[in-house]
Amino acid sequence: SDPDLVARAQAAKAALGERVFVLGHHYQRDEVIAFADVTGDSFKLARDAAARPDAEFIVFCGVHFMAESADILTGPGQQVVLPDLAAGCSMADMARLTQVEDAWDALVEAGIADAVVPVTYMNSSADIKAFCGRNGGVVCTSSNAEVALEWAFEQKQHLAGGGKVLFLPDQHLGRNTAVLQLGLSLDDCVVWNPHKPNGGLTAQQLRDAKMILWKGHCSVHGRFSAEVVDELRATIPGVRILVHPECKHEVVTKADLVGSTEFIIRTIEAAEPGSSWAIGTELNLVKRLADAHPDKHISFLDRTVCFCSTMNRIDLPHLVWALESLVAGEVVNRIEVDAETEKWALVALQRMLDLPG
Ligand code: 13P
Ligand code: SF4
């Protein structure tokens, strides 16, 4: 990176001292990770943000929904900054509050809303989290989706037909967790398409389903394919396939190991020297793992380059601008969730933080 920008970032961080705390998601660029006080997956970063009550400014190097969650979990005197406001998430954008409310109305109409617990992936806007908080639901991340789903089904186990889950917005994480970890069948899952009347489902299909999956996906993880898994197994002897649960079901079922970005890092750290791995997650992280472990053979599970374009919007120039503005007394790109949304989103986030494990 540009040595002048590196020096400016160092100087601005030094000038702010303990007043600023910089969080970096594992998918961030190396030039940004170099200035992060902590790195983590979305679950760890949510906890880390909440554990820093003394920092006046939380600079979140990640995407918009993560910065919103940090704002919800931090105190009133703390301000959260997202260095580039265009760092959104295409998956989070696939579930809008009005669409989710329409879906809920359809569940009421089908006579099943009382049996449904809404569960939203962290990768969703604060108002969707608030919707879950208000309706007895919970937030989950890729590190705790299994316990969150178990908790959700337990809430309604007293009902004659048992409970159901409305899982937002990532159909893949929902399906992979329900089928591979909770032992449900693919037939127990239906997909709600917000662009079709009644989600493209009949009331009977809704009544029969255990998991109602929102039709959302991650454009980055959605690119990994079962064919490339087969191809790599044929060309790299003994290769182990390690993927994120946002990948399609057919990819996850062909993989050796599946888990969040923290799990992927821990797995590679613990792997024996000389072992071969193909990793299906965002490319900044895979490259960093390959650089950090030259004694292991690490390849990317795709033929083409696939960065998360919105994660990549946070670069060193944006970080320097955000930090220098703070030094100058100006809080730029503040992320502030309104009080009512915050109150209910916190209920759903707190239920997640209180889950066992
Ligand atoms: P985790 O950080 O929970 O592994 O999620 C990956 C992701 O896609 C974040 O946007
Ligand atoms: Fe969203 Fe996927 Fe990028 Fe994560 S990797 S921020 S889920 S688009």
pLDDT for 56 beyond 90: yes
| Residue 131 one-letter amino acid | F
Are residues 49 and 36 in contact, defined by beta-carbon separation less than 8 angstroms?
Answer: no
Please state, in angstroms and rounded to a whole number, the distance separating the CA atoms of residues 173 and 110: 25
Are residues 282 and 27 in contact, defined by beta-carbon separation less than 8 angstroms?
Answer: yes
For ligand 2, is residue 123 a contact (CB within 6 Å)? yes
| Residue 200 one-letter amino acid | G
Joined tokens for residue 160: 């004659």
Q: Looking at the CA of 25, which ligand is closest? A: 1
Q: Give the pLDDT score at 29.
A: 97
pTM over 0.80: yes
112 with 214, same domain: the answer is yes
Output the average pLDDT for the chain.
Answer: 96
Mean pLDDT within 96-124: 97
Name the phi and psi angles at 212, rounded to 5: -105, 110
Are residues 352 and 148 in contact, defined by beta-carbon separation less than 8 angstroms?
Answer: yes
The answer as to whether 101 is a domain residue is yes
Which atom belonging to ligand 2 lies closest to the Cα atom of 282? 5
Q: Ligand 1 centroid vs 197 CA: distance in angstroms? A: 31
> How confident is residue 50, by pLDDT bands cut at 50, 70 and 90?
confident
Q: Give the pLDDT score at 303.
A: 81
The answer as to whether 110 is a domain residue is yes
Mean pLDDT within 207-214: 97
Q: Tens of pLDDT along 219-244?
A: 999 999 999 999 999 999 999 999 99
Look at the chain and report how many structural domains it folds into. 3
pLDDT for 160 beyond 90: no
For ligand 2, is residue 124 a contact (CB within 6 Å)? no
181 with 68, same domain: the answer is no
Q: Give the pLDDT score at 247.
A: 98
What distances in angstroms separate CA 58 from CA 36, 45, 234, one per listed residue? 11, 11, 46
Mean pLDDT within 305-316: 94
* Nearest partner of 180 among 140, 149, 214, 219, judged by Cα: 149
> How confident is residue 286, by pLDDT bands cut at 50, 70 and 90?
very high
81 with 102, same domain: the answer is no
> How confident is residue 216, by pLDDT bands cut at 50, 70 and 90?
very high
pLDDT for 357 beyond 80: no
158 with 101, same domain: the answer is yes
Buried b vs exposed e over 277-314: b needs ≥16 C-beta within 10 Å?
bbbbbbbbbbebbbeebeebbbebbbeeebebebbbbb
Query: Residue 7: which domain range?
Result: 3-88+311-338
Mean pLDDT within 247-267: 97
CATH number for the domain that contains residue 7: 3.40.50.10800
The answer as to whether 210 is a domain residue is yes
- Of 40-49, 67-76, 200-209, 249-258, minimum mean pLDDT range: 40-49
Q: Looking at the CA of 243, which ligand is closest? A: 1
Dump the DSSP string for 157-214. Answer: TTSTT--EEEEES-HHHHHHIIIIIS---GGGEEEE-TTSGGGG--HHHHHH-SEEEE
Q: Ligand 1 centroid vs 29 CA: distance in angstroms? A: 15
Known binding residues are 25, 42, 89, 121-123, 142, 218, 244-246, 261, 308
Are residues 62 and 24 in contact, defined by beta-carbon separation less than 8 angstroms?
Answer: yes
Mean pLDDT within 264-287: 97
* Nearest partner of 20 among 246, 315, 325, 248, judged by Cα: 325
Q: Give the pLDDT score at 304.
A: 81
Joined tokens for residue 290: 């390959």
Q: Give the pLDDT score at 106.
A: 96
Please state, in angstroms and rounded to a whole number, the distance separating the CA atoms of residues 46 and 235: 39
> How confident is residue 255, by pLDDT bands cut at 50, 70 and 90?
very high
Could you give the percent of the chain with pLDDT greater than 70?
100
Q: Of 198, 218, 238, at which residue does a domain stop?
A: 218
Q: Give the pLDDT score at 306.
A: 80
Which atom belonging to ligand 1 lies closest to the Cα atom of 45? 2
| Residue 203 one-letter amino acid | A
> How confident is residue 112, by pLDDT bands cut at 50, 70 and 90?
very high
